[in-house]
């Protein structure tokens, strides 16, 4: 391509400054950070709603559904709380205790004599300081006498949802715009450098 044509193109393209794309990149980058932060804040709110519903024996299924949909559909919504956090990260303590209580009630109904003996023995041993300690002691007492109940399945009170790697929301599209602006900044900067060097 001769210099005459390059001069013709350069007359129009030199009006497009790389700094325009740099400004856009910074603006979209800031927007993406705020959107990612908002996604995480909303995840925290929905996770708290799950624990609240669990504590108050509310609609846990509905709260879990809302949390699952948000986590699956948005970036930066991981439920993990760090290397030392519980796993799975959602463990419904009160749901577990209610399930244990139901099993305790079933034991009492099916064999009230054995249940009363177990309760008295556990009380005498000081194993009734908490509901969980009482349940564990009663189960151990019953198992020692040939009565065993199956463990409560983890799927009934433990949950984990995987955050989206990319999502078509404000955070996702602003990240795309940030990357595109960065690419255009590099291309236009290199092009201007090349044209200025070549047309000297």
Asked, for residue 4, whether it belongs to a domain, the answer is no
pLDDT of residue 13: 61
Asked, for residue 32, whether it belongs to a domain, the answer is yes
133, 97: one domain? yes
CA distances from 191 to 8, 110, 137, 138 (A): 14, 83, 77, 78
pLDDT of residue 79: 87
80, 119: one domain? no
Number of domains in the chain: 2
73, 170: one domain? yes
pLDDT of residue 36: 97
* Distance from the first to the final alpha carbon of the chain: 15
Asked, for residue 2, whether it belongs to a domain, the answer is no
Asked, for residue 12, whether it belongs to a domain, the answer is no
76, 167: one domain? yes
pTM for the predicted model, two decimal places: 0.70
Structural domain containing residue 102: 93-156
31, 115: one domain? no
Helix axes 18-55, 170-198, angle to 10 degrees: 160
β-pair partners for 159? 90
pLDDT of residue 170: 96
65, 114: one domain? no
pLDDT of residue 200: 58
> CA–CA separation, 130 vs 142, rounded Å?
18
32, 51: one domain? yes
Encode the chain (200 residues) as per-residue pLDDT tens digits: 555 665 556 566 667 788 899 999 999 999 999 999 999 999 999 999 999 999 999 999 999 999 999 999 999 999 876 555 566 788 888 888 788 777 767 665 556 677 678 778 888 888 776 555 766 787 788 888 777 655 678 788 889 999 999 999 999 999 999 999 999 999 888 877 776 666 55
24, 113: one domain? no
Q: How confident is the model over 128-170, as pLDDT tens digits?
A: 765 557 667 877 888 887 776 556 787 888 899 999 999 999 9
pLDDT of residue 18: 85
23, 82: one domain? yes
pLDDT of residue 142: 80
């Amino acid at each position: 391509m001769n210099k005459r044509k390059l001069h013709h193109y350069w007359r129009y393209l030199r009006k497009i400054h790389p700094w325009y794309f740099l400004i856009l990149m910074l603006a979209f980058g800031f927007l993406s950070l705020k959107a990612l932060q908002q996604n995480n804040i909303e995840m925290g709110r929905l996770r708290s709603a799950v624990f609240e519903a669990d504590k108050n024996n509310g609609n846990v299924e509905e709260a879990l559904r809302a949390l699952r949909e948000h986590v699956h559909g948005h970036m930066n919504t991981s439920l993990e709380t760090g290397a030392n956090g519980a796993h799975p990260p959602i463990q419904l303590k009160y749901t577990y205790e209610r399930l244990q209580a139901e099993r305790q009630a079933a034991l009492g109904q099916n064999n009230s004599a054995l249940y009363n003996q177990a309760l008295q023995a556990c009380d005498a041993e000081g194993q009734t300081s908490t509901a969980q300690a009482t349940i564990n002691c009663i189960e151990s007492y019953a198992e020692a006498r040939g009565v065993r109940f199956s463990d409560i399945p983890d799927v009934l009170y433990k949950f984990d949802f995987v955050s989206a790697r990319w999502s078509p929301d404000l955070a996702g599209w602003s990240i795309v715009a940030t990357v595109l602006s960065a690419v255009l900044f590099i291309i236009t900067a290199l092009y201007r450098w090349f044209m200025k060097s070549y047309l000297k």
